[in-house]
């Protein structure tokens, strides 16, 4: 059985370029970036998607994304993306936010 790639990173069994981490969350650079700045905000605990997350965790993830964006000086703007399910574009079934910045973001996004 293949292990979740984000669980492998959380356990230290796979590498990541961390920007921030604590006992609840990891923020690291996406291995396949779609913008000059493309970070993933990921809980250490395995939660499959938004549909399984509680309000406390979601608030913590958003707060962490905000904190990292401010620390990186992204005051001109950034985009947060949360894909849910196959039709929503989710490819890794471990809850995560994409923080994208460093270029203008078009609309509609997909």
Q: Where are the domains of the chain?
A: 5-101
The pLDDT value recorded for residue 2 is 64
Q: Using pLDDT thresholds of 50, 70 and 90, give the confidence band for residue 1.
A: very low
Identify the active-site residue in 38, 94, 96, 98.
96
CA distance from start to end of the chain: 32
Q: Using pLDDT thresholds of 50, 70 and 90, give the confidence band for residue 110.
A: low
Dist. CA 73–CA 22, nearest whole Å: 21
Q: Give the class (CATH, top level) of 5-101.
A: alpha beta
Query: Residue 15: is its pLDDT beyond 70?
Result: yes
What digits encode the pLDDT tens for the residues 27-70? 999 999 999 999 999 999 999 999 999 999 999 999 999 999 99
Residue 28 contacts residue 40 (beta carbons within 8 Å): yes
- Is 98 one of the annotated active-site residues of the chain? no
The pLDDT value recorded for residue 61 is 98
Q: Mean pLDDT of all residues in the chain?
A: 95
Dist. CA 44–CA 34, nearest whole Å: 23
- Confidence (pTM): 0.95
């Amino acid at each position: 059985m293949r292990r979740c790639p984000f669980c492998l990173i959380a356990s230290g069994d796979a590498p990541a370029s961390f920007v921030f981490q604590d006992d609840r969350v990891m923020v690291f650079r996406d291995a396949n970036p779609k913008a000059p700045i493309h970070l993933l905000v990921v809980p250490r605990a395995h939660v499959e998607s938004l549909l399984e997350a509680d309000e406390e965790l979601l608030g913590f993830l958003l707060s962490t994304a905000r904190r990292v964006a401010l620390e990186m000086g992204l005051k001109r703007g950034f985009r947060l993306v949360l894909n849910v399910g196959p039709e929503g574009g989710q490819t890794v079934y471990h809850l995560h936010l994409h923080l994208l910045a460093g270029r203008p973001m078009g609309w509609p996004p997909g």
